Chains A and B, each alone.
Chain A
C-alpha cells in the first residue's frame, strides 16, 4: 500500500489559489489518487479523484505528473469556509477497496 506524505499545515488568505502536494513514491500501477476534505465534527467529503495528468471539477483541480509519484490539489480562490483538513488517499479501488491508508492530512487555514 502506498504511503502518502503531505505538509502538516498551510496558511492562505481569502481569494488566493492554494496548492497542496502529496507524495506517494510507492504508488502502484492500479492505484488511483483521491482527495478528501474534512471539517471538524464531520466525516471526510470527497473532493476529486484522478489517475494521471489533470482532472478538474467544479471545486478543484488535481495535477498528477507522468511518474505519478506525487499529486497536487489546487483550490482556486479559497474562502474562509475552505478552512479544513485535506487528505490525500492512494489505493486500488477495485482490488483493495477500503485498504487505502489515510495519511496525516494537511490542515489548511484560510485567513481574511
Chain B
C-alpha cells in the first residue's frame, strides 16, 4: 500500500485568489490522480499527472483553472486558480498501487 499525505488539510480562501495543494507519496509512482468531491457527492476525476509530461485533464476541467505540477515520482501539486464559491470541495490525490487505488486524506477547501 502507499501512504499519501496532503497539505493543507483544509483552508478558507477569498474568491479570486489561488490555492496550491501538495501531495506527497511515500513511494515512487508513475501516475498520480487528482479528484474533486463536492459536498455530499461522489468523486470526480480532475486530471492524471505523469512525471515529465503534461497532465491529462478530464472533460470539464482545464489547465488554466487547475494547473498541475509533477516534478518527480513522489510529489505533485494542484492549484485551484481564481477561486469562486463553486470551487468549495474536497480535493484528493490518489495513486495506483498493486491492488487498487490509494487516496490521500483530502484537502477541504472553502471559498468565501
- Interface residues, chain A, with chain B CB atoms under 8 Å away: 34, 36, 41-46, 49, 87, 89, 93, 97-105
Secondary structure type dominating chain A contacts:
loop
Tell me how far the C-beta of B57 lies from the nearest C-beta in chain A, rounded to whole angstroms: 12
| Complex: A105 Cα to B1 Cα, angstroms | 23
Give 8 nearest A-B pairs by CB, closest first.
Answer: A43-B103, A46-B100, A102-B43, A98-B48, A98-B33, A102-B42, A97-B96, A43-B92
Selecting from B62-70, B74-82, B104-112, the interface stretch reads B104-112
Q: State whether A45 touches B103 (Cβ < 8 A).
A: yes
Q: State whether B96 touches A93 (Cβ < 8 A).
A: yes
Q: State whether A46 touches B101 (Cβ < 8 A).
A: yes
A residues less than 8 Å from B48 (CB atoms):
97-98
Given contacts A34-B100, A49-B99, A93-B96, contact A98 B45 (CB under 8 A): yes
The A-contacting residues of B in range 9-53, CB under 8 angstroms, are 31, 33, 42-45, 48
How many A-B contacts are there with CB distance less than 8 Å? 50
Q: State whether B45 touches A46 (Cβ < 8 A).
A: no
Secondary structure type dominating chain B contacts:
strand
- The count of chain B contact residues (Cβ–Cβ below 8 Å) is 22
Tell me how far the C-beta of A69 lies from the nearest C-beta in chain B, rounded to whole angstroms: 21
A residues less than 8 Å from B31 (CB atoms):
97-98
User: What are 6 of the A-B contact pairs (CB < 8 Å)?
Assistant: A43-B4, A46-B97, A46-B101, A98-B33, A98-B96, A103-B42
Tell me how far the C-beta of B63 lies from the nearest C-beta in chain A, rounded to whole angstroms: 17
Residue of A nearest to B99 (CB): A49
Q: State whether A44 touches B43 (Cβ < 8 A).
A: yes
Q: State whether A43 touches B42 (Cβ < 8 A).
A: no
B residues less than 8 Å from A98 (CB atoms):
31, 33, 45, 48, 94, 96
Given contacts A98-B33, A99-B45, contact A43 B100 (CB under 8 A): no
